[in-house]
A and B are shown apart, each in its own frame.
Chain A
Amino acid sequence: MSEINIDKIHQQRQQLVTQIAHLEQTLSDLKGKLAELEALEQHEAVDHLEEYLVEADERYSHLKDFGDMLLNDLKKLLHHS
Chain B
Amino acid sequence: MNSDSSVNPSNSATPSASNTTHHPTWQSWLFVIGLIYLLLVAVSMIGSGFKLAAGSHAESLFEFARNPVTGLVMGIVATALIQSSSTVTSIIVGLVAGGLPVSIAIPMVMGANIGTTITNTIVSLGHVRQGEEFRRAFAAATVHDFFNLLAVVIFLPLEMMFGLLEKVGGLLANLLVGGGSLAMGDLNFMKAIVSPPVKSLLAVLKEIMPNTLAGSLVIALGVLAIFVSITFIGKLLKMLMVGRAKELLHRAIGRGPITGIGSGTLMTVLVQSSSTTTSLIVPLAGSGVFTLRQIYPFTLGANIGTCITGILAATAITGTNSVLAMEIAMVHFAYNFLGVIVIYTLPWLREIPLTCAEALANAAMKNKLVIAAYLLLVFLVIPLIFVGISQLFE
Contact = CB atoms under 8 A, between A and B. Distances in A.
B125 A63 contact: yes
Contacts of B254: 35, 39, 42
A69 B16 contact: no
B129 A49 contact: no
Contacts of A53: 20, 238, 242, 276, 280
A65 B125 CA distance: 8
Interface stretch (B27-35, B97-105, B156-164, B283-291): B283-291
Chain B interface, DSSP helix/strand/loop, else mixed:
helix
Chain A interface, DSSP helix/strand/loop, else mixed:
helix
Contacts of B245: 49
Contacts of A47: 246
Contact of A56 (B9, B10, B280, B368): B280
Interface string B7-26: 11110101111011100000
Contact of A46 (B19, B129, B284): B284
A58 B15 CA distance: 9
Interface string A58-80: 11111101100110111001000
Contact of B289 (A42, A49, A61, A70): A42
B279 A56 contact: yes
A50 B242 contact: yes
Given A42-B290, A45-B289, A66 B368 contact: yes
13 contacts: A44-B7, A44-B289, A45-B284, A48-B10, A51-B12, A51-B20, A54-B20, A55-B15, A61-B126, A62-B125, A62-B128, A65-B129, A66-B128
